Chains A and B, each alone.
Chain A
Amino acid sequence: MSLYTLLGALEIGLIFSLVALGVYISFRLLRFPDLTVDGSFPLGGAVAATMIAAGYDPFTATIAATLAGAVAGLVTGWLNVSLKIMDLLASILMMIALYSINLRVMGKPNVPLITEPTVFNLLQPEALADYVFRPLLLVFVVLAVKLALDAYFSTQSGLAIRATGSNARMARAQGVNTGMAILAGMALSNALVGLAGALFAQTQGGADISMGVGTIVIGLAAVIVGESLLPSRKLYLATIAVIVGAIVYRFFIALALNSDFIGLQAQDLNLVTAVLVTVALVVPRLRAHWSGKKGA
């Protein structure tokens, strides 16, 4: 594997670590199985690409994409909390609704960003090549998001969200408006996914209507791989684990697809993902099995 593909894998891994953090918030902290992600990721891309193509400043476009993701999460939360639609179904409804919305936002199936400015080429110093600078900038973005999340979830309001996911009845008895906590958590989760979509569109040369397919699987894969590499219930370690999981996952994909001796091709991506997630799910159990035998 060349340095170029290595840095490319790191770049995409870092972007998807934002998705993975979002998925961690919904699936693990709120225990809300949220598939909205498959729609809010391309929504972020669509909003950012369309705005940049229309001449808006890329930073404004990226913030708008993040907010659009938050709104998508809010709607899913609202379907569940106010209309009492089962969580998984609410998110599926939102996911398919977003397919049409994304087409409306872009006005066509894809919006290319070839010569337009992006947050990456605006910030890039002369001395660094773009494929070196992009992952570097993303490391800072992801770390900043991680630290902000760690801080938020140890505040009173963040604790209320975690309590809602862990024991909603207890949370209500302590005066937590659990409906609002779900809305806030879902908005935060999908805002991160929208941000990831916006950054993805700006590194990959545009937004495409199909760019969201399987986002949730990648996000969950990252969470699961991370948890099996670094099992911890402590929040600041769990967020690190999720980020590492997203990057490791991406490296394995790159390794699998770029190693001629294995003979895999780009169309085998989903199969490789399924195998990787299966391995990540089975390894912790095997580890427990082996250590159990040793102890006996």
Chain B
Amino acid sequence: MLKATDLRLTFNPGTPIETQALRGMSLEIPTGQFVTVIGSNGAGKSTFLNAVSGEQRVDSGTIEIDGIDMTRQPVWGRARHVARVFQDPLAGTCEDLTIEENMALAKMRGERRGFSFAVKPALREEFRAQLSTLGLGLENRLSDRIGLLSGGQRQAVSLLMAALQPSRLLLLDEHTAALDPRTAAFVLELTVRIVAEHKLTTMMVTHSMRQALDVGQRTVMLHQGRVVLDVSGKEREGLDVHHLLDMFEKVRGEKLDDDALLLG
């Protein structure tokens, strides 16, 4: 379970380019739930995800995962509980290492790394079996450098890697945004399968409202650094993209009015 409470974060405080990225952002994700997060540019989606993963320290507020306070933990300290797939397909893997070495790194996510060989025969078989489920023929290329793979292939391997080791939270950061439509569909399908298979608690940030409604059990919309819309269950089933757009316009419109009042 993820419990983020009243997160606040200001970039460049006290300067003309001051940006309040998170303004009292709170979100609870119960164990096993798949939540999709949407919002316009600058709404705080990525900042929130980075705050949860530890890449970005918050000014105030707390982040708990399964009751453990993670607010002050560095990225590598949270890795035991948090798995992540990046937006940039090149960011989630080490291009200089082979496919099996990358998977071996992920297999030990959050564990103490000792002096035994990273890729053992038994592990290699496990990796081979996992890769064959992708249907991309990668199971025969275990010792190829991962830099030789296409972006889509690397993203698919990143997803497998995220599920090699149990995690309490899976973070997906617009992980299909940089892929062509066909590959994006494949990776999304794979995501849904892996999340279901491992019953992962998942937070997926996406720029696509269609995608946000199609997968997962709950959708949250962020605006100006906090949650402005939170739908799930029956209410969400009836929703279509234009409903979301309407709600989105409404939220923005009201904010505009607020600003107008302030200025007036």
Contact = CB atoms under 8 A, between A and B. Distances in A.
A159 B104 CA distance: 9
A163 interface: yes
A175 B91 contact: no
7 contacts: A154-B117, A156-B114, A158-B118, A166-B95, A172-B74, A172-B79, A175-B111
A84 B255 CA distance: 41
A175 B79 contact: yes
Contacts of A175: 76-77, 79-80, 108-111
B116 interface: yes
Interface residues of B, number: 33
Interface string B76-103: 1101100010100001111111000100
A204 interface: no
A156 B110 contact: no
Given A163-B94, A178-B76, A173 B110 contact: no
A177 B95 CA distance: 19
Contacts of A171: 76, 94, 105
A153 to B, nearest CB: 9
Nearest to A153: B118
A152 B114 CA distance: 10
B96 A233 contact: yes
Contacts of A157: 113-115
Interface of B: 53, 55, 74-77, 79-80, 84, 86, 91-97, 101, 104-106, 108-111, 113-119, 145
Nearest to B115: A155
Nearest to A155: B115
A158 B92 CA distance: 19
Contacts of B94: 162-163, 166-167, 170-171
A83 to B, nearest CB: 17
A173 B117 CA distance: 21
A160 interface: yes
Given A156-B104, A174-B105, A174-B109, A167 B93 contact: yes
Contacts of A173: 53, 75-76, 79, 84, 86, 92
A169 interface: yes
Given A167-B91, A170-B93, A156 B76 contact: no
A238 to B, nearest CB: 10
A156 B115 contact: yes
A139 interface: no
Given A167-B93, A178-B76, 11 more contacts: A155-B117, A156-B114, A156-B118, A157-B114, A169-B86, A172-B74, A174-B76, A174-B79, A174-B108, A175-B79, A175-B80
